[in-house]
Amino acid sequence: MGSRLRAGEQTYDAQRGCLVDARLVWDTWRRVLRDDRLANWVVNPNSRTEDAHGCTADELAILVDYAGTPAPTESNIGMYRRGLVRNALGALDLVPLTRRLLHGSGLDVEAVASEFVQSGGYADNGPYFWRTAACFVAFLAARAEFVSRPHQDVLAIDAAGVALARRLGEAAPLIWPNTAAEAFSAESPSRSLQSIRFVAHPAATMISSSYDLTPWIENPFDFDPGQDLEASPRHWLIYVPAAESVHEYAELSQRAACLFDVLRVPKSLVELSTVLNDVPQADVLALIDSLAGLGVIVSGSDAQPTPSRSAIASRKETHAADELPLASHLICGGAPHEAA
């Protein structure tokens, strides 16, 4: 059975002959775990002549107690910090592109993870691995070893995917893209489109890259980070089809990317045509057809179902293959969706 003490209660310390606040002991120990200076103070006798780094008299007394058993104290500090390193490396499984980038860099992976943990003040995110992944990706993006444009593109894509997963963990959509796509395919062709206001699905986001990352996205676990890629701007849709799905990628054409971007706020068919520099409505319908077919754009009104594929198809013109709004649909092994 664990301690029955609550915050603010006190316990008797027989060795020191006084009452000790349990909450103060806990908070002081957490400071030791996360502060290299205090950790050194309690395990290294030569450092105890120095100031205790702003500790109060009561906190200093607690430090002295821990310093009285340096071997187990050092062991516990080490176990805590090694656990954080393992958690950090485990969090990279959520971002396989970044994980491969690190493992293919030639760096000592565990040493990099240790530096990351230390840079964050040995913060313990517990089961919130998406939060750890977000911080780790940002840490790697700031390192000189990953300054090249393709590497920055990879890290930016994973950062966007992590941010999407964390948003969905905080507020899951009522209807996921797979369900929205099914409704889109099944809807009646007589549906009027003029009154519908379309909007981007909250389970989807978009990011652009300076290089064509297709070979890496198609092979996230075994690509060569040193491979020369084509310098060619690309637009990537990242979306989570269902609550328990991995996130997936689709490469968008320039026009499809513009449409998805402006649909951060609901817009009608007429408004979309105008915002897209007077793109013909038939072309706008083709874009809507492709994106709604993935379930990543929906009706802006919960009361209105997504317009049907057949309704759109009946009003759009035929397009050549090189004008299709979705350049390709690329599936990448992502990470299970979970709360963050």
Select the CATH number that applies to the domain covering 155-328 from these four: 2.60.40.1730, 3.90.930.50, 3.90.190.10, 3.30.2270.10. 3.90.930.50
Q: How high is the pLDDT of residue 260?
A: 96
Where along the chain do the CATH 3.90.930.50 domains lie?
155-328
pTM score: 0.80
> Rounded mean pLDDT of the chain?
82
Q: Which residues contact 131 (CB under 8 A, 6 or more apart)?
A: 125, 166, 340
Share of the chain above pLDDT 70, in %: 78
Q: Which residues of the chain fall below pLDDT 70?
A: 1-20, 47-52, 187-193, 300-340
Q: How high is the pLDDT of residue 329?
A: 40
Q: How high is the pLDDT of residue 265?
A: 92
Q: How high is the pLDDT of residue 219?
A: 95
